[in-house]
Amino acid sequence: MAKRSGIRSNESVAGWLFTLPAILIVGVFLAVPVLMALWVSFSDWNGLGPPVGGRAQFVGAENYADVLTEEGLAQRDFGTSIRNNLYYVLLVVPLQTALALFLAVQVNRRVLKGRGFFRTAFYFPSVTSSVAITVVFLFLFTASGAVNSILGWLGINGPNWFNDPSGVLHNLFAVFGWTSPGPLGATGPLGLTWWDWLSGPSVAMCALITLAVFTTSGTFMLLFLAALQNIGTEIDEAASIDGAGAFRKFFSVTLPMLKPTLFTVLTLGLIGTWQVFDQIYLTGGGSPGKTTLTPAFLAYQTSFEDLRWGRGAAIAFILFAIIVALTLLQRRILRDRDEKPKRRRRGIDGDPHDGATAQAVTRLNAGAGGAP
């Protein structure tokens, strides 16, 4: 008995000693900083002196009001960044998910020769750093670059991608002769006119959207591939014997079974696309004409360049709130549709934390593409 309780107390000490380094590192460089930044977002700290306990004054929700409700440049910049990122999310998430799923189904085919080669080819962009791949894309999308050369073969006069601030939807409207805002010139949410909200992603942003789809589809392809391999071949074969065609088989047999993975990929996509920063930094900090500005970059710029730390921190927390809200919303949808609640173990230890590991892996993997 005595020995047993000795082991128990040993375990208590060891348990804390083993976790202490990680707790310290995560606590000091993650938890504490977040609380500190939360305070800064309610203060007028200008970067001089210590942010806590120095001359910085509490200013209430002023920094939040500056970007959310107060009319002015700060609000318009924030509104612009939200608009840009919204279009980015709306295009990147469906495209990367569909492409990843398509690639996974293709490279999962048993009859396919050279599966390893194709998997490698599609996954490789996900391994490279965001910096390297952005440099490559800047080169591919120059006015006389590779992409425009190929468009030239097809008789299309390609745009000057990264220098073209015009909105894609505006350009489309112009085709039908609709070039002036008209009644849409009225101011809408966040200080932007309705006309501005309807601009669509700029041509420059479209190049960044291509970049994101290119770099993340491989990672998500692996997630789908794993799920497909879990399904195994029996069900697939059963469906074939029943005479289901390839398309019907995919939509009525495979896709429903992939639902959990599909939701994981959509969540990770949503989280990742709201965080795009590296590519914006590298392509000129929102240029051309602020049409590639994102909230993540705006928070950085407001703090580190304009030295309005409080406002920058406030933008970061609004972004945090957006991401958390979307994740919760997605979770709720997932829970409603979860067909096997029994598989969920009880208690925090057993919480499978929907795709948390996948999220972890993807985040660690994120290098490129802004998937976190």
Partner 1 sequence: MSTASVRPHRKRRLSAKLRTSIVLGYLLLVALAIVYIYPFLISIASSLKTNDDATANPLNLLPETWSFAAYDRLFTEVPLPTWTMNSFIVTLFVTFGRVFFDSLAGYALSRLNFPGRSFVFAAFLAVLSVPAVVLLIPRFLVLQQLGLYDTYGGMIIPLLADAAGIFIMKQFFDSIPAGVEEAARIDGAGIFRTFWSIVLPMARPALVTLLILSFQGSWNEFAHFVVSRQSTELNTLTTGVASLVSGQLGEGNQYPLRLAAAVLMTIPVAVLFFVFQKRIMNSTEGAEKG
Within residues 228-287, the interface with partner 1 by CB under 8 A covers 229-230, 237, 240-241, 246, 261, 264, 271, 274-275, 277-278, 281-282, 284
Q: Percentage helix, strand, coil, to 5, in the chain?
A: 70, 0, 30
Q: Does 299 bind partner 1 (CB under 8 A)?
A: yes
Query: What are the structure tokens assigned to 257, written together?
Result: 């079974």
- Closest separation between CB of residue 305 and partner 1, Å? 12
Q: Do 334 and 263 meet the contact criterion of CB atoms below 8 Å apart?
A: yes
Q: Does 138 bind partner 1 (CB under 8 A)?
A: yes
- Closest separation between CB of residue 60 and partner 1, Å? 19
- Closest separation between CB of residue 116 and partner 1, Å? 8
DSSP notation for 174-192: HHTT--S-GGGGSB-GGG-
Total binding residues for partner 1 by CB under 8 A? 124
Residues 11-70 that bind partner 1 (CB under 8 A): 11-16, 18-19, 21-23, 25-26, 28-34, 36-37, 40, 50-51
Nearer to partner 1, 191 or 272 (CB): 272
Nearer to partner 1, 11 or 70 (CB): 11
Nearer to partner 1, 138 or 199 (CB): 138
Residues 154-183 that bind partner 1 (CB under 8 A): none
Q: Does 227 bind partner 1 (CB under 8 A)?
A: yes
User: Residue 256 CB: number of other CB atoms within 10 A?
Assistant: 10
Look-up of token digits 């008995």: 1
- Closest separation between CB of residue 303 and partner 1, Å? 5
Interaction mask 94-133, partner 1, x per CB under 8 A: ---------x--xx-xxxx---xxxxxxxxxx-xxxxxxx
Which range in 80-88, 180-188, 220-228, 332-340 contacts partner 1 by CB under 8 A? 220-228
Residues 61-100 that bind partner 1 (CB under 8 A): none
Q: Do 62 and 52 meet the contact criterion of CB atoms below 8 Å apart?
A: no
Nearer to partner 1, 173 or 300 (CB): 300
- Closest separation between CB of residue 201 and partner 1, Å? 20
Helices (H) and strands (E) in the chain, counts: 19, 0
3-state secondary structure labels for all residues of 3-35: HHHHHHHHHHHHHHHHHHHHHHHHHHHHHHHHH
Q: What are phi and psi of 187, to 5 degrees?
A: -70, 130
- Closest separation between CB of residue 188 and partner 1, Å? 26
- Binding residue (CB under 8 A) for partner 1 from 61, 98, 151, 324: 324
Extended strands (E) in 62-169: none
| CA separation for the pair 199, 181 (Å, rounded) | 10
> Which amino acid, one-letter code, is at 6?
G
At residue 368's C-alpha, the angle toward residues 297 and 166, to 5°, is 50
Rg (CA), the chain: 25
Query: What are the structure tokens assigned to 110, written together?
Result: 């048993």
Nearer to partner 1, 83 or 119 (CB): 119
Q: Does 319 bind partner 1 (CB under 8 A)?
A: yes
- Binding residue (CB under 8 A) for partner 1 from 48, 61, 98, 146: 146
Burial category of 241 from C-beta neighbours within 10 Å (exposed 0-12, middle 13-18, buried 19 and up): exposed
Which range in 56-64, 65-73, 336-344, 351-359 contacts partner 1 by CB under 8 A? 351-359
Nearer to partner 1, 68 or 368 (CB): 368
Q: What are phi and psi of 10, to 5 degrees?
A: -55, -45
